[in-house]
Amino acid sequence: MEMYNYLKSLHLIFVITWFAGLFYIVRLFVYQIEANEKPSPEKEILQKQYKIMTYRLWYIITWPSAILASFFAFWMLFFTDLGHVWLQMPWMHVKLSFVFLLYLYHLKCHQIYLSLQKDEVKYTSNFMRLWNEGATIILFAVVFLVVLKNAVNWIYGVIGIFLFSILIMLGFKFYKKIRSKNNS
């Protein structure tokens, strides 16, 4: 049991740093996209700096954290007695579905990262702000599933964060409207 607790602690540490990396990388994408609209030489200076920052964040923190979080999760699930018990529970199946979505989200962020490193801007900064909510929804769903250990009650938490996200987006639109009014 003590070994399981060490594995669980390491898994949680790397899940936290993985999410921190995902949240911050998308924020850097927003800045990088907005820097693309600046006049020279500001544009080139900012783009160079953001490329360095995203490279370091992505390859030194985010990718290693994703790999280590996954490594410790697999170790817990497949090489401990308690893991075999968890794998038989319906809430764990739902949780693993959200983890799969997290991997897809991570891989899509990797595609966006590679495009921006080549100065290819395919999305708006507003899209990236919305995109950032995807990781938040996955995080809430997984946390509620793990804490409640119920394959149904997590829905209330996800609905709550979804409604909260809508409020944030409405607030963002309101702020943008006020900002553009003040700049006119």
Residues in binding site for heme:
11, 95
In whole angstroms, give the CA distance from residue 81 to residue 161: 34
Annotated binding site: which residue ranges? 11, 95
CA dihedral 26, 31, 34, 35 (to 10 degrees): -140
HSE toward the beta carbon, residue 141, CA cutoff 13 A = 24
DSSP structural state of residue 39: P
Cβ contacts of 160 within 8 Å, gap of 6 or more: 140
Coil, helix or strand at residue 118: coil
